[in-house]
Amino acid sequence: MSVGETPKSGTAPAERGRMDKRRAIVEAALRVFSRVGYTQASLDMIATEAGVAKPTIYNHLGSKENLFRHVMTETAARSNAKTLQVLESFPNDPDQLRPGLQDVAHKLVDCYCDEQSEAVRRLLYAEAVRFPDLFDEVRASGPNQFTDALAGRLARLANAGHLRIEDPERAANQFIALVYDELPELSALGTRPLVPDQVEKIVAAGVDTFLRAFGADRPAAGPNSAG
């Protein structure tokens, strides 16, 4: 998957060339950082990977630290734009709620488990001590936006009486956890392929658990409820 976006046809050749070169640098930097880590990576390695001269990296994105920060936030933001498209098929028909949520869950898992998303996630945790502020920056440029958008969709279903949700943001986080959180361990943080049957079972079980917890036909909580 390309990190960059195809320039518009009306873009001037010089500007298009600059965008293409910048995209090549970002893509190459992500591959190098993912392969050898931040400490071992060098601008010489990234320049060779991108097929550009080292001064070109400085001209576009500055130092290695600035490049790393940019790669992480930009890749997260662009991956998030793809993830947000998942919600275009979010179900509104109560009769299609279960299959609709399963479809959303499968598409979400595909986005979260793609090569670039996994690379960013591994790097984010690996460099958390060196860049303690970067975690929040990456979350703000990517996953938090999706969670907020998903919470909005869930709130609409709750307002229509199709779900029973008191805290849509928490429900959104729980939906994501139910359909995804087992997968990083199974894939060794994206370093080995997932078995489709396993993914199918996890997604189906996650959606079933979510609907048991938040479905409109579940018993209402009361003063005598357990827990």
What local confidence, expressed as pLDDT, does residue 20 receive? 84
Q: Which segments of the chain have a pLDDT < 70? A: 1-17, 218-227
- Under a CB-based contact definition with an 8 Å cutoff, are residues 38 and 6 in contact? no
Classify residue 161 as left (phi > 0), alpha (psi -120 to 50) or beta.
left
Which one-letter DSSP state was computed for residue 215?
B
Q: Report DSSP letters for 50-64, one per residue.
A: HTS-HHHHHHHH-SH
What local confidence, expressed as pLDDT, does residue 34 receive? 95
What local confidence, expressed as pLDDT, does residue 217 receive? 77
- Under a CB-based contact definition with an 8 Å cutoff, are residues 30 and 116 in contact? yes
Rg (CA), the chain: 21
What local confidence, expressed as pLDDT, does residue 142 receive? 82
The full length of the chain comes to 227
What local confidence, expressed as pLDDT, does residue 6 receive? 46
What local confidence, expressed as pLDDT, does residue 9 receive? 53
Chain-centroid distance, C-alpha 32 = 20
Q: Tens digit of pLDDT for each residue in 198-213?
A: 999 999 999 999 999 9
**Long-range contacts, 22-27 (Cβ 8 Å, 24+):** 22/60, 22/61, 24/50, 24/51, 24/52, 25/50, 25/52, 25/56, 25/57, 25/60, 25/61, 25/67, 26/61, 26/70, 26/71, 26/74, 26/75, 27/2, 27/3
What local confidence, expressed as pLDDT, does residue 143 receive? 87
What local confidence, expressed as pLDDT, does residue 157 receive? 96
What local confidence, expressed as pLDDT, does residue 4 receive? 43
pTM reported for the whole predicted model? 0.82
User: CB-side exposure of 46: number of CA atoms within 13 Å?
Assistant: 36
Bridge partner list, 163: 215
Q: Three-class SS of residue 163?
A: strand
The owner of tokens 């001064």 is 55
